[in-house]
Amino acid sequence: MFQMIKSGLTIKNEKGDAMIKLKCPECGGSYKDETVKMTYDVKNVHVVIKNVPAKVCQKCGNELLDGHTAKDVDLLVNRVSEDVERFARSLALPGKRHSVSLAV
């Protein structure tokens, strides 16, 4: 049986043999594991999430998130923006811009 295991930026088989090294589709540079800051504007809420694990191209700065991280960030941003909007409505501050900063 053949099993793919993702290790860092190299796809390896079950024996640990390197099979594919990911290259940046924008510039052909190589990726490195880092953490990034992501900024979103949803409705009237400005959300900043720090320390998000990502693969960052060392040449052009292109950022890649794995599927689980992207889904988690999306859920977090939507939940936070809904909570802030609900809180703002309770304070009778509708339509004003609000800012939230989170560190993961």
Whether residue 21 lies inside any domain: the answer is no
CATH number of the domain that residue 48 is part of = 3.10.20
Whether residue 61 lies inside any domain: the answer is yes
- Confidence band of 102 (pLDDT split at 50, 70, 90): low
What is the reported pLDDT for 1?
A: 26
CA angle 75, 44, 66 (to 5 degrees): 25
Number of domains in the chain: 1
Average pLDDT of the residues of the chain = 77
Give the model confidence (pLDDT) of 11-33 as tens digits. 555 666 655 678 888 899 998 99
Whether residue 55 lies inside any domain: the answer is yes
Give the model confidence (pLDDT) of 40-81 as tens digits. 887 777 888 999 999 999 999 999 998 899 999 999 988 988
Q: Which range marks the domain in which residue 37 is found?
A: 27-103
Residue 2 has pLDDT above 50, yes or no: no
pTM above 0.85, yes or no: no
Whether residue 8 lies inside any domain: the answer is no
